A and B are shown apart, each in its own frame.
Chain A
Amino acid sequence: DQQVKQNSPSLSVQEGRISILNCDYTNSMFDYFLWYKKYPAEGPTFLISISSIKDKNEDGRFTVFLNKSAKHLSLHIVPSQPGDSAVYFCAARGGGGADGLTFGKGTHLIIQP
């Protein structure tokens, strides 16, 4: 049973436009959410995070929104750039005391010129 779900395996966006990546979770015990970015043949790298007590966190072109009542978070990238083409993983911490992060399956973002 997947506790963190990314329902879109891939997303194609035109350069300069906004990219919106979505993530749903089922475990209300999660207290921290993170987004990781992964290029081919590399490990995932941390991008941005948000605590469960907040509903928005912004860092440059990247903004993460959290809707706790809907158990939904989203990552907005604006404007999208070619270097943003990568796989994006949503991750959550907590869920009963474990320190390990629970990851979604990822969304492959493709930025088209």
Chain B
Amino acid sequence: ETGVTQSPTHLIKTRGQQVTLRCSSQSGHNTVSWYQQALGQGPQFIFQYYREEENGRGNFPPRFSGLQFPNYSSELNVNALELDDSALYLCASSLKSGTSQNIQYFGAGTRLSVL
């Protein structure tokens, strides 16, 4: 186990609704990254939070937003859900250090289905 927990494990929403996904990072980690993984594809980087601020963003529209809390846990919010948002959403935590070799530890993901 990686020590990274995500909730819920599965979620079903309808088009136009809003959803919040949650992630508890591994103890001692200060950085959380969110990824979207469509079926049969590799994960796509959504954004990263470091010390409660966004620290890099992928090619996702503004309706994808996030938060990181003082305890370094994080939320991913998606507004105005679209059918193509159906995917596995992965959260990864890491400890940002002076090097770039920060190993990211992934949670098991939240499977979101948009009907």
Query: Is the pairing of A and B real?
Result: no
